[in-house]
Amino acid sequence: MNDADFTSHTVLAGNAYRDDRHLAARQALYCWQHPSYDLPGLVLDHFPTGGGVVLDIGCGNGRYVDRLRADRPDLTVVGLDISTGILANVAPPVVVADAAALPVVDNSATAVLAMHMLYHVDVVESALAEAVRVLAPGGTFIASTNAREDKKELDDLWAAAVADVLGVEHGRRRVSLSSRFPLNDAPAILRPYFAEVQVLELPGTITVRQPDPVIAHLASYRTWAETTGVPFDATLDRARRLLHDLIDRDGEYRINCRGGVLLCRGAQEDERRPRR
């Protein structure tokens, strides 16, 4: 699988995020995580005081947009996404836009969000340059992603299912979206663009006692099934049976998570060029 599989506008807008079904399935798995994190609340905790414009780039189904508007009516929160379909149920103002070519004037945003979406941008640095351009001097930029080792148990489960279906010794790992912008590398990628970069790690453990939430999460990657070289439905069915057996044996199934939020402050007017 190459990067184009993750970044194609046609694939993203026309299939992966045509609506929010797949995204909602991935979000729902975290209902079983401990400790749990109120991510929109965490974002709000790090917002500047006073009004202004907030751009939520790759806003998806509007989880952050809705919360920010409810809790901070002094802000004008604009949701932007590449997919017209996924914006259908997000209240305006919303804009269909590419993160690497924002239809926004320079220095106009108090804050910019890029939550679990930078791995979908063809050239991450292009999106960061756009964020810097639209962000007011000293403004706030917040991104999020997962580490390479996040949910390794799902990698093992999927690989075992693939091996059984194909009759091979070692199966392929599952699709990992965050591998293009992992938490491990994200601070180094961001630092040339922002005056300050703080990493807030959000580790946790997902514990389930029935297979459905995990299988729904795995099924949400169906968009990329044809590029993985494995029979997706047969592998999904085998993963369900393996997971059922594990839960019968242990009484539960645990998934170790390692995600994080990157809290960045934009440069002041005299520091606006990326520092390579």
d(CA 262, CA 199): 5
What confidence tens digit (pLDDT) does each residue in 125-144 have? Answer: 999 999 999 999 999 999 99
pLDDT at position 276, please?
A: 47
pLDDT at position 114, please?
A: 98
| Residue 86 belongs to some domain of the structure | yes
| Residue 274 belongs to some domain of the structure | no
| Residue 113 belongs to some domain of the structure | yes
Q: What is the mean pLDDT of residues 11-21?
A: 90
C-alpha dihedral over 59, 63, 66, 70, to 10 degrees? -130
Name the more confident of 228 and 244: 244
Place of tokens 């017209």: 84
| Residue 63 belongs to some domain of the structure | yes
Q: What is the mean pLDDT of residues 116-127?
A: 95
φ, ψ (nearest 5 deg) of residue 196:
-140, 140
What confidence tens digit (pLDDT) does each residue in 24-73 have? Answer: 999 999 999 999 999 999 999 998 888 899 999 999 999 999 999 999 99
| Residue 109 belongs to some domain of the structure | yes
Q: Alpha carbon of 53 to those of 20, 64, 68, 108, 140: distances in Å?
A: 25, 14, 11, 7, 11
**Residue 191 structural domain:** 4-267
Number of other CB atoms surrounding residue 206 within 10 Å:
21
Residue 84 tokens read as 């017209």
Structural contact between residues 122 and 100, judged by C-beta atoms closer than 8 angstroms:
yes
pLDDT at position 2, please?
A: 56
d(CA 34, CA 19): 28
Rounded to two decimals, what is the model's pTM?
0.94
| Residue 273 belongs to some domain of the structure | no
| Residue 162 belongs to some domain of the structure | yes
Question: What is residue 266's three-state secondary structure?
Answer: coil
pLDDT at position 189, please?
A: 97
d(CA 260, CA 139): 20
Question: What is residue 230's three-state secondary structure?
Answer: coil
| Residue 275 belongs to some domain of the structure | no
Q: Which residues of 78-101 are buried (b: 16+ CB within 10 A; e: fewer)?
A: bbbbbbeebbeebeeebbebbbbe
pLDDT at position 163, please?
A: 95
Q: Number of folded domains in the chain? A: 1
Place of tokens 């194909």: 166
pLDDT at position 271, please?
A: 57
Q: Which of 18, 12, 17, 115 is nearest to 57 (CA)?
A: 115
Q: Is the pLDDT of residue 21 over 70?
A: yes
Structural contact between residues 259 and 183, judged by C-beta atoms closer than 8 angstroms:
yes
CATH number at residue 189: 3.40.50.150
What confidence tens digit (pLDDT) does each residue in 167-218 have? Answer: 999 888 888 889 899 999 999 999 999 999 999 999 999 999 999 999 999 9
What confidence tens digit (pLDDT) does each residue in 87-106 have? Answer: 999 999 999 999 999 999 99
